[in-house]
Amino acid sequence: MTNCSRSFRVASALVVFLSATAAAAERPDQRPVGIRVYDYASVPVNVFHRAQHEVRHLYAEIGVDTTWVEMRRRSHRAQDASLKNVHSTDVIVIILNESMTTRMAPPAEVVGMATTSPMAHGHIAYVFYDRLQSDPLQSDASKVAALAFVMAHEIGHLLLPYGSHSDAGVMLDCWNRDAFSRLDVRELQFTPLQGRQIRHLLKFEW
């Protein structure tokens, strides 16, 4: 997610939650998306859990169940060891603190990034959390919405064809700062095509 002229843009948790939605039960051959979160930004617990709940809701709306595993404030050595044991179908979301964002040095306007390429689906997404803390994103509600949107969007990049964006909804690329501060995640959706593409990936490719 990058900033285009004073706006945010998206570039191409949590206690373990296990769920079995009715939609997933109707498709026993489609496994849930496994989402493993590494939180190095010490996101407040209430913000973190509420954002995770919103992401689960967005994916449930397209009939995709998610299983979440939180690994908060792990050392780099612990992270490296655990990444070797992650199942290939798991999505990894790494929430970086300010110093880690500085070392990674993404463009100044980017608030999230997914490791994808035209040739293959990626499995790792990054959230540059310090960049979600600036004005006017000061209320808990706006912080929850911003974190939920960036996670949902970047996970979407990992599950969709390379470069997938839409003119509105979860995969909208560019947001001005005012609209981003008033973001209501429950008003966002994946397009019907994006929902079909994600379900196809989970059923046939991963």
Q: How far apart are CA 16 and CA 70, in angstroms?
A: 6
Single pTM value for the model: 0.78
> Do 11 and 66 meet the contact criterion of CB atoms below 8 Å apart?
no
The model's pLDDT over 82-141, given as tens digits with 9 standing for 90+, comes to 445 545 458 999 999 999 999 999 988 889 999 888 887 889 999 999 988 865 546 777
Do the domain assignments include residue 1? no
SS3 state of residue 69? strand
SS3 state of residue 5? coil
Do the domain assignments include residue 205? no
Instruction: Give the pLDDT confidence score for residue 184 in this predicted structure.
Output: 83
Which residues, 6 or more positions from 174, have their beta carbon under 8 angstroms from its beta carbon?
Answer: 2, 4, 7, 8, 9, 10
The model's pLDDT over 142-172, given as tens digits with 9 standing for 90+, comes to 888 899 999 999 999 999 998 888 888 999 8
Do the domain assignments include residue 201? no
Do the domain assignments include residue 126? yes
Do the domain assignments include residue 89? yes
Region of residue 42 (left: phi > 0; alpha: psi -120 to 50; beta: else): left
From 91, 24, 31, select the one nearest 61 (Cα to Cα): 24
Do the domain assignments include residue 44? yes
Q: Which domain holds residue 146?
A: 7-196
The model's pLDDT over 43-96, given as tens digits with 9 standing for 90+, comes to 999 999 999 999 999 999 999 999 888 766 554 554 454 445 545 458 999 999
Q: What is the CATH number of the domain that holds 142?
A: 3.40.390.10
Q: In terms of DSSP bridges, do strands 174-176 and 7-9 run parallel, antiparallel, or are they unpaired?
A: antiparallel
- Structural element, H or E, at residue 128: strand 124-128
Count of domains for the chain: 1
